Amino acid sequence: MKSGFFTISQRLSVPLFGVGSFLIIIRSLSEYEMGAWALFLNMVTTLEVARNGLIKGAIVRFYNSEEKSQHESIRASSLLINTIYTIITTSLLIIFASTIANALNTPLLTDMLYLYTISAIFMIPFSHFEYIQQSNMNFKGVFYGYLTKQGLFFLTILTTIILLDINVNPRHLVVAQAFGILIGTIISFKFARKYLSMTLKIKKEWVKKQWSFGKYGFLTNVSNSGLTTTDHLLIGGIVSTASVAVYNAASRITNIFIIPSVAIADILYPKSVDAQSKSGNDAVRILYEKAVGATLVPMIPVILIIWAFPELIIEILAGSKYLDSINVLKVAILSIVLLPFMKQFGTMMNTLEKPHFNFYFVLSLSIFNLLMNYLFISNIGILGAAYATLLSYFIGFIASQIILKRMINSSIKRIVFNTFLFYKDIFNLLSKIKNK
């Protein structure tokens, strides 16, 4: 229960502070600057998601399946891979920052990517402490680390723009982001230090094992980012940076409601590994069906509300100058109901020690998504991106359910049944509270 509370809290605090920052930033930046900020966030998020795929899945897997005597070597190998990854990616950013900015018709990105290298360095210890705590099923420090990281960024934006009435540009936002990561790292260390040691026992065999396992997670997450960033990048390259801001206004709203799926996946993975080793695939199937069912519970009413009041939602969150994104929002919000199935699919593939299955699945879907986005954006504009993404998610949903049916005998009917059971439990709980 505690792990679930802190994981959900972390996943809620990050986007809630993100929404707060978004409400302020979108009203203070020009559409061009907002588009540049959206493109920047998509790129650096891809880098951090790739880091998670390379390292987190492997360390959680081996930490929960190997003898305790191996834990120190597992930690050290993870830190080494983390450091090498950061050196390579930051070097590439420094070399190609200007080329990327010109390709996306956004010169401002050059300075932003240079400044991001500071954040990337701070992310080495921040992410390492996160992975170690999650491996030990301790999510408290992760929660406070992210709370500090995102909270300080929000407070900096609030103080600077609202209270002091100082004009900011995206470069300032990148610096504020780095400051939040630095302080968040210090907070996270206080919780993680009991799991750390003063020596680094790096063993070649563990570096090879973690790389062998993590490379599929890395490639999968990079491919998966193609599903979430291709639309923004192609809009920037084909249409304009300002159009990215309009599209981003809708996508940021839908991203809020992906939180439950990601949080449940973080909790489910170590539990499913343990269940699979003790009870086999039947236990894994039950966990999968319940996890997806639980994730759908908050999503369904949210979709209905947004479909009923899209203009009001945009007005509140983005302002009247972004009302052009209403139709994008109405299409994009439909795709989030399919995401829990695909997110938990990836978790199941890792649990069943078939990360390569997930990689090829996501890679194929990302290539399809890239082609559809290019075709639809070229002919329809930014609304085409929403249709292309929805189509890609639907294809992914069908394919993932066919694969899981064959591997663990999962059933969509049981998932729907579990969803209604959760609604029934909530209704009964509310009735008891009302009668007291």
Decide if pLDDT at 228 tops 90.
no
For 349, which DSSP code? H
Average pLDDT over residues 229-247: 87
Lowest mean pLDDT among 49-53, 58-62, 226-230, 388-392: 226-230
Taking only the tens place, the pLDDT of each residue in 108-117 is 999 999 999 9
Taking only the tens place, the pLDDT of each residue in 206-215 is 899 899 888 8
In this prediction, residue 227 carries a pLDDT of 76
Decide if pLDDT at 63 tops 90.
no
Mapping DSSP onto H, E and C, the string for the chain reads CHHHHHHHHHHHHHHHHHHHHHHHHHHHCCHHHHHHHHHHHHHHHHHHHHHHHHHHHHHHHHHCCCCHHHHHHHHHHHHHHHHHHHHHHHHHHHHHHHHHHHHCCCCCHHHHHHHHHHHHHHHHHHHHHHHHHHHCCCCHHHHHHHHHHHHHHHHHHHHHHHHCCCCCCHHHHHHHHHHHHHHHHHHHHHHHHHHCCCCCCCCHHHHHHHHHHHHHHHHHHHHHHHHHHHHHHHHHHHCCHHHHHHHHHHHHHHHHCCHHHHHHHHHHHHHHHHHHHHHCHHHHHHHHHHHHHHHHHHHHHHHHHHHHCHHHHHHHHCCHHHHHHHHHHHHHHHHCCCHHHHHHHHHHHHHCCCHHHHHHHHHHHHHHHHHHHHHHHHHHCHHHHHHHHHHHHHHHHHHHHHHHHHHHCCCHHHHHHHHHHHHHHHHHHHHHHHHC
User: Where do the structural domains in the chain lie, given as residue ranges?
Assistant: 2-426
In this prediction, residue 279 carries a pLDDT of 57
**Which has the closest alpha carbon to 21: 216, 155, 194?**
155
Average pLDDT over residues 144-162: 93
**pLDDT band per the 50, 70, 90 thresholds, residue 90:** very high
Decide if pLDDT at 321 tops 90.
no
In this prediction, residue 269 carries a pLDDT of 47
Lowest mean pLDDT among 27-36, 105-114, 329-338: 329-338
For residues 58 and 210, the answer to whether their CB atoms sit within 8 Å is: yes
H helices within 107-200, ranges in order? Answer: 109-135, 140-157, 170-192
Look over the chain and give the mean of its residue pLDDT values, rounded to a whole number.
85
Highest mean pLDDT among 1-10, 28-37, 262-271, 279-288: 28-37
**pLDDT band per the 50, 70, 90 thresholds, residue 6:** low
